[in-house]
Structure 1
Amino acid sequence: MAFGALLLVAGGALTAHAYSNAQQELANSEYSNVMWRDEPVDSFFPTTIGGRGGYNGGLYDREQAIWNRVGISPDTDCDKGLTSHTLKAAKENGCQAVLRATYVDSTANMVATVAVVVLPKGSPESGPRTSIYEAYLDHLQDDGVVAPYAVPGTVAAKWKYRNGAELAPVGGEHMPYVVAASVGSVDGHVAGDLPGEWGDSDGNNVDRGSWQANAGNLVTLFRAHMEHLQTGDS
């Protein structure tokens, strides 16, 4: 595992309960429950995500990447990774850890923090994943969902203002996770604050919606990545 690079970017070692070096030899259903701590960190949070060939195309191809990783948070406490109503719902449903990594898009205009919330096993229809997703839907307009992880010494060093967020459960009976992302602007632009004629009519709503869509696309990408890890196809 590439701990050297991680230490330089994140500023410290990951807590022991979050990750370990060796991936265990387990059936897919069993491995799903432990991959958050057994998968090598550079595999769990790949250096690049996405590609021009579609949202699953070019998943690990630097030349086609939509998102490039700039740092991984060493802090996996639930209190540090989530905000407001999402945090409350996660804690009420047995949140074990929140793993976060920050990515910048290929144009270096957008910055995003992806979070994987680790939960107890439960029914896909009524268990912890569903409860947190419902809390997210109830507070779409007033919860930033993921706490930004600003990475010192990178273009994401001042990452603060969240312009869009998304959260969704990871599919599969044995995948006790939800994936969330908050997206913002590298230059600090606040969504829905367009000047003059650009903000007139429906311009500000379009601006907010575009950021929300980018957060949704990133969550879709990362859920697909986790499903690949579970099946061993990644």
Structure 2
Amino acid sequence: MSTDAEFADARHIPPIPPQPPRRPVPTGTPEPDGDPLTTVLRRVPAEPPVPAPGMPATPNPARPVPPRPTVPPPAAPPVPPPAAGAQPPSRPDRAPGPPAPAEPAAPTPPPTGRPAAFRDTAAFHLANSRQAWSDARERGAGSGPGAPPAPRHPAATGPSGAPGSEPSRTAAELPPQVPWPPTAPPHGGVAPAPGAPAMPRHPSGRRPGPRLLGAAACLVLGIGLIGGAAAGSWLTDEADAAPPTAAATFAKGRDVWHNTPVDRLFPRTVNGLGAGPGGADRTWTRIAVAPDSGCTGAYDPKLAAALARAGCTRLLRATYADATRSGVITVGAQITKADQPAMMALNTRFSTKSLGNRTDLLPLPYAAKGTPAEDFGRPQRASWTVRILTDIPVVVYAVSGFADGRVVTEPQPAEAAVRPGTTTAPAESGLGHDAKGLADRIGTDFRRAAGSPTQTTEAPS
């Protein structure tokens, strides 16, 4: 029973025409195979044409004419209208048929399409034949190779389907099928072997031009040059970071006088932490720098004779004043011509024979005009020291005196004036500490300029 007949009110159901009797299927008409609907709904043969009155009927030898019905179907009793306030009767399983006609009705030709009387029967058969339809479609769809799978829920063929069945959809309502991506045609050249992988080709279909190859070669060459320069710089830095040998340091120390700025060898200000009497800090300021020259006239005759064995390449001198401007100090550095064994022998001779403590081996001061050291001469020398460096060919000395030009009758070596408890004028005034502290600092600057890795300690002369 259809959905409209199930939920409609029986009072408003239009009369249904009587169903024609089922005609037998001719024996000569073959039934189509593979269509599950033919097992449920069979095709109704066309009605032979009715001859006009007065014309003899021409029988069709191929299709026999079935007998027409003579007895009409029994009429259903009329349904009385419900009383006011009464409950409507329950819906019958089928709609009541029309009242029986008083006399036999003339037969009507069958409709060309599906009549409205068959909608209940079609819905019923379609609901019951759903499983048979799906199984037959699946068997027919999977029979051939490459056949598409059959739909699991076929659409109903009639305008109204069974309850719970899916509505039919037209081709425009179906979702669009995504086409497969087109396959690129093979190259017109040599065809690849079956099963061989496709060889990639240049996007433009041509080989790279000479400009592209040249640019790639330049890029590779540039990267190689940069990498080589970086590797060379790294190796050079590693070589520079390695400690130099004693021979290399000694050879470099011979050239520091013209390869190093004067402010590095003789700084403008020198701070002596704990270099004064009693561990006090001292500060010395440079007031004059002498032009580089030879060693002639720079020493007393006996000191010049003692240093003559080492030779003289250059003599550098500078004069400093202490923070109170009461003392002046001249510092000198003699670049010798001797090798390292000769410098070690000279240091041993000065240490063992105490040549640095003799008052007749005093170095001369540098008295620059217009400075606090203008009156600093031979009589004003109060303390001194001489250092023979063994790791570089340099002899460092320092001599100190009073800035007011007073005469010192008993000069004292710096190593003796810095001893605790000494009450001499050079010791109490700190002139011995000034000479020793400046000589140590200038010797360290020369060693640092030559790249000496260690601080060599020589015996005081």
Instruction: Give TM class, smaller chain.
Output: 0.5 to 0.7
| Among candidates 196, 200, 222, match of residue 442 of structure 2 | 222
Contact 2:367 2:374 in 1 (8 A): yes
Structure 1 residues 136 and 184: alpha-carbon distance in aligned structure 2, compared to 1, 3 A threshold: farther
- Report the residue type matching 1:228 in the other structure: R
Partner secondary structure for residue 254 of structure 2 = helix
Structure 1 residues 125 and 154: alpha-carbon distance in aligned structure 2, compared to 1, 3 A threshold: closer
1:30-41 matches, within 5 Å, as 30-41=251-262
Offset of residue 223 of structure 1: 1.5
Match of 1:10 in 2: none
1:104-143 matches, within 5 Å, as 104-120=321-337, 121-123=339-341, 126-131=344-349, 133-134=350-351, 137-138=354-355, 140-143=357-360
Is structure 2 residue 384 aligned with structure 1 residue 165?
yes
Provide TM-score, normalisation by structure 1. Answer: 0.68
- For residues 72 and 144 of structure 1, the distance between their equivalents in structure 2, rounded to whole angstroms, comes to 23
Match of 2:77 in 1: none
The structure with higher relative contact order (CA 8 Å, sep 6+) is 1
- For residues 74 and 136 of structure 1, the distance between their equivalents in structure 2, rounded to whole angstroms, comes to 32
- For residues 340 and 283 of structure 2, the distance between their equivalents in structure 1, rounded to whole angstroms, comes to 33
Match of 2:363 in 1: 146
Match of 2:432 in 1: 212
Offset of residue 136 of structure 1: 8.1
Greater CA deviation, 37-46 or 100-109?
37-46
Identify, as 1 or 2, the structure richer in strand.
Answer: 1
- 1:140-173 Cα distance to aligned partner (Å, 9 max, x none): 232353211111111112211111110112352x
Offset of residue 51 of structure 1: 3.6
1:48-197 matches, within 5 Å, as 48-52=269-273, 54=274, 66-120=283-337, 121-123=339-341, 126-131=344-349, 133-134=350-351, 137-138=354-355, 140-143=357-360, 145-160=362-377, 161-172=380-391, 175-191=392-408
Match of 2:264 in 1: 43
- For residues 136 and 78 of structure 1, the distance between their equivalents in structure 2, rounded to whole angstroms, comes to 23
Contact 1:111 1:156 in 2 (8 A): yes
Contact 2:292 2:314 in 1 (8 A): no
What 5-or-longer segments of structure 2 have no aligned partner?
A: 1-239, 276-280, 411-420, 454-461
- Report the residue type matching 2:333 in the other structure: V
Offset of residue 206 of structure 1: 1.8
Offset of residue 134 of structure 1: 4.5
Structure 1 residues 86 and 42: alpha-carbon distance in aligned structure 2, compared to 1, 3 A threshold: same
What 5-or-longer segments of structure 1 have no aligned partner?
A: 1-25, 56-63, 194-202
Percent identity over the alignment? 25
Structure 1 residues 136 and 164: alpha-carbon distance in aligned structure 2, compared to 1, 3 A threshold: farther
Contact 2:295 2:315 in 1 (8 A): yes
- For residues 130 and 79 of structure 1, the distance between their equivalents in structure 2, rounded to whole angstroms, comes to 24
Offset of residue 65 of structure 1: 6.5
- Report the residue type matching 1:218 in the other structure: L
Offset of residue 46 of structure 1: 1.2
Match of 2:86 in 1: none
Contact 1:144 1:182 in 2 (8 A): no
Offset of residue 114 of structure 1: 0.5
- For residues 358 and 403 of structure 2, the distance between their equivalents in structure 1, rounded to whole angstroms, comes to 22
What is the aligned-residue RMSD (CA, Å)? Answer: 3.1
Offset of residue 186 of structure 1: 0.2
- For residues 134 and 116 of structure 1, the distance between their equivalents in structure 2, rounded to whole angstroms, comes to 19
Contact 2:362 2:384 in 1 (8 A): yes
- Report the residue type matching 2:374 in the other structure: A
Contact 2:289 2:318 in 1 (8 A): yes
